[in-house]
Structure 1
Amino acid sequence: MRIVYIINSLNGGGAERPLPDIVAQMRARGHDVHVLALARKAGNAVAWLKDAGIVHDILSPRPEKFASLRTTLAAVRRHAPDLIWTSLTRATLYGQMAGIVLRRPVVSWQHNAYLRPWNRRILHATHRLTDLWVADSRFVAKCTARQLNVPERDVITWPLFTAQAHMPQAAPWAGPGDGRGVFRLGTLGRLEAQKNYGLLIQTMACLRDHAPHCRIHLDIGGEGSLAPQLQEQITTLGLDNITLSGFQADPFAYCAGLHGYVQPSLFEGLCIALHEAMQAGVPSIVTPVGAMADVVTDGETGLFLDPPTPERLASLLLRLYDNPALCARMGAAARQQVLSSYNLNAITAQARAVMERAEQLVATQAGAVRAGTSPLTPIR
């Protein structure tokens, strides 16, 4: 079947990073996929799509401006899909409208446990225009059913991370030794309020002032609207133990260069970056929110930041810094956990279940059209 996959932008975040794997699963079942991006934004995902040979169109001529509904409908009609697949709220609303106009079934992703109030109200009102909701984790599936009033039978899970044992592994922290060793701490994500990166900066100031003996350097990888604010905070505090390194095109290599990973988010869905760090064998410190509370086992594969205060985080970081054996043990356990739970066979089985449901939607429509009873005959 022909699938048109509508996504908000090609920014390079958690919704775009799995696109090559998603499309590969669809292609493996013999489907033709065409990606339509409503905006380019930073365009960091463009290279990923090109490398994977994924056909895509950017519908807006201006990088920051989303295409209009009219432009999107014209593009969808031009590709004559059997199925419309959507990712993120604006793309989902446009896809739902295209589903009405073209009378085609719609499948929609949910990537996050938190929806902005306005988005939540809109999707709550339009949720029946999507025929099947797909969540990137069991936690997000529960949130989708609750927040959008979607029957649980219409929400299915497809985790958007596939573990790959051949990806580079991190070298375990060997300890401060003679005092010249530097513990490399990192985090990946959009520089937006939900990631709570201001807490990290406060923590590094706390360590400088109260544990001057420790040598921990924090690297924050990512782009976003808060970059200037975070840099100003770093400068104001006079910190030389933090780097804002920008977008990371190769997150696997980035994680392999760390001794510890930290994710102090206020809310999360699956959090792909955390899985990438665990795959590299890096111990993590995370707030127990979203799917992170499920994937990290406190004290075994990582540590829970609860409560999320600078003092608590500083204490946890010093615990890792002073205990190389603990770092090695947690890192190894984290790697084993993701390789076991998110291996290709496991993810393919879940992807297959989703695709079978989507294929059934198309088959049901086709059968109804042949019988002359379908409400989904395209409007010309």
Structure 2
Amino acid sequence: MRIVYIINSLNGGGAERPLPDIVAQMRACGHDVHVLALARKAGNAVAWLQEAGIAYDILSPDPDKFASLRTTLAAVRRHAPDLIWTSLTRATLYGQMAGVLLRRPVVSWQHNAYLRPWNRRLLHATHSLTDLWVADSPFVAKCTARQLNVPQRDVITWPLFTAQARMPQAVPWAGADDGRAVFRLGTLGRLEPQKNYGLLIQAMAWLRDHAPQCRIHLDIGGEGSLAPQLRTQIMALGLDNVTLSGFQADPFTYCAGLHGYVQPSLFEGLCIALHEAMQAGVPSIVTPVGAMADVVRDGESGLFLDPATPERLASLLLRLYDDPALCARMGTAARRQILSSYNLNAITAQARAVMERAEQLVATQAGASRAGTGHPTAIR
């Protein structure tokens, strides 16, 4: 079948990063996929699509502005899909309208446990126009059913991470006995309020003032609207132990260069970056929110930041810094856990279960069209 995959942008965040793997699974099931991006934004995902040979169109001439509904509908019509697949709220609303007008079934991703209030109200009102909701984790599946009033039968899970044992591994922290070694701490994500990166900077200031003997350097990898604010915060505190390194095109190599990973998010869905760090064998410190609370095993493969305060984070960092054996054990456990739970066979089985449901929707719609009964939501 022909699938049009509508996504908000090709910015390079958590919804765009897994696109090559998603499309590869769809192609493996024999389907043709064309991506329609409503905007380019930073365009960090463009190279990924090109490398994977994925056909795509960017529908807005202005990189920072989304295409209109009218432009999107025209593009969908041109590609004459059997199925419309959507990712993120604006793309989902546009895709739902296209589904109604073209009488095509719609499948929509949910990537996050949190929706902005207005987006939540909109999707709650239009949820029945999506025929199948796909969540990136069991936690997000539960949130989707509850927040959008979607029946459980219409929500299915497809984890957006596939473990790859061949990816580079981190060298465990060996300690600071010689007084020169630096504990490399990192995090990856959009520089937006959700990620709570200001707390990281506060923790690094606390370490400088209260534990000046420790040599920990924090690198924050990513782009976003808070970059100027975070840079100002670092300068105002006079910190030389924090770096903003910008977007990381190769997160696997980035994670393999760390001794510890930290994710202090206020809310999360699957959090792909955390999985990449654990796959590299890096111990993590995370707030126990979203799917992170299910992925990290506190005290075994990582540590929970609870309460999420600068002082608590600093104490956890010192715990890792002072105990290389603990770092090594946690890193090994993290890698073993990820390679076991997210191996290719497991993810392929879940992806194919989703695609079978999608294929059934298309077959049902074809039958409905022949019978003249219209959109598949009317014949459930």
Q: Pairwise mapping of residues 143-292 of structure 1 onto structure 2 (< 5 A)?
A: 143-292=143-292
- Give yes or no for the alignment of 1:121 onto 2:144: no
Q: In the aligned structure 2, how far is the partner of 1:242 from the partner of 1:369?
A: 59
- Give yes or no for the alignment of 1:141 onto 2:125: no
- Give yes or no for the alignment of 1:10 onto 2:24: no
Secondary structure, in 3 states, of the residue corresponding to 1:277?
helix
Secondary structure, in 3 states, of the residue corresponding to 1:328?
helix
Deviations 1:107-152 (A, max 9, x none): 0000000000000000000000000000000000000000000001
Q: In the aligned structure 1, how far is the partner of 2:227 from the partner of 2:372?
A: 55
Q: In the aligned structure 2, how far is the partner of 1:341 from the partner of 1:268?
A: 19
Secondary structure, in 3 states, of the residue corresponding to 2:5?
strand
Match of residue 19 from structure 2: 19
Match of residue 375 from structure 1: 374
Secondary structure, in 3 states, of the residue corresponding to 1:363?
helix
Q: In the aligned structure 2, how far is the partner of 1:50 from the partner of 1:219?
A: 29
Corresponding letter in the other structure for 1:218: L
Q: In the aligned structure 1, how far is the partner of 2:88 from the partner of 2:122?
A: 13
Secondary structure, in 3 states, of the residue corresponding to 2:3?
strand
Displacement of 1:237 in angstroms is 0.2
Q: In the aligned structure 2, how far is the partner of 1:358 from the partner of 1:18?
A: 19
Q: Pairwise mapping of residues 64-79 of structure 1 onto structure 2 (< 5 A)?
A: 64-79=64-79
Q: In the aligned structure 2, how far is the partner of 1:259 from the partner of 1:103?
A: 52
Deviations 1:315-356 (A, max 9, x none): 000000000000000000000000000000000000011000
- Give yes or no for the alignment of 1:97 onto 2:97: yes
Secondary structure, in 3 states, of the residue corresponding to 1:367?
helix
- Give yes or no for the alignment of 1:60 onto 2:56: no
Gaps of 5+ in 1: none
Displacement of 1:376 in angstroms is 3.6
Displacement of 1:203 in angstroms is 0.2
Displacement of 1:369 in angstroms is 2.5
Q: In the aligned structure 1, how far is the partner of 2:66 from the partner of 2:79?
A: 19
Secondary structure, in 3 states, of the residue corresponding to 1:121?
helix
Q: Spell out structure 1 runs of 4+ moving beyond 3 A.
A: none
Q: TM-score, normalised by structure 2?
A: 0.98
Aligned length: 376
Match of residue 85 from structure 2: 85
Secondary structure, in 3 states, of the residue corresponding to 1:311?
helix
Secondary structure, in 3 states, of the residue corresponding to 1:330?
helix
Displacement of 1:368 in angstroms is 2.4
Query: Matched residues, percent identical?
Result: 89
Displacement of 1:177 in angstroms is 1.6
Q: In the aligned structure 2, how far is the partner of 1:203 from the partner of 1:235?
A: 15
Q: In the aligned structure 1, how far is the partner of 2:365 from the partner of 2:316?
A: 55
Displacement of 1:158 in angstroms is 0.2
Secondary structure, in 3 states, of the residue corresponding to 1:244?
strand
Q: In the aligned structure 1, how far is the partner of 2:76 from the partner of 2:176?
A: 57
Secondary structure, in 3 states, of the residue corresponding to 2:307?
coil
**More moved, 358-367 vs 215-224:** 358-367
Q: In the aligned structure 1, how far is the partner of 2:373 from the partner of 2:163?
A: 41
Match of residue 338 from structure 1: 338
Match of residue 106 from structure 1: 106
Match of residue 298 from structure 2: 298
Corresponding letter in the other structure for 1:284: S
Q: In the aligned structure 1, how far is the partner of 2:152 from the partner of 2:100?
A: 23
Gaps of 5+ in 2: none
- Give yes or no for the alignment of 1:320 onto 2:317: no
Q: In the aligned structure 2, how far is the partner of 1:367 from the partner of 1:32?
A: 21
Q: In the aligned structure 2, how far is the partner of 1:368 from the partner of 1:125?
A: 24
Q: In the aligned structure 1, how far is the partner of 2:233 from the partner of 2:177?
A: 31
Displacement of 1:178 in angstroms is 1.3
Secondary structure, in 3 states, of the residue corresponding to 1:360?
helix
Q: In the aligned structure 2, how far is the partner of 1:198 from the partner of 1:29?
A: 44
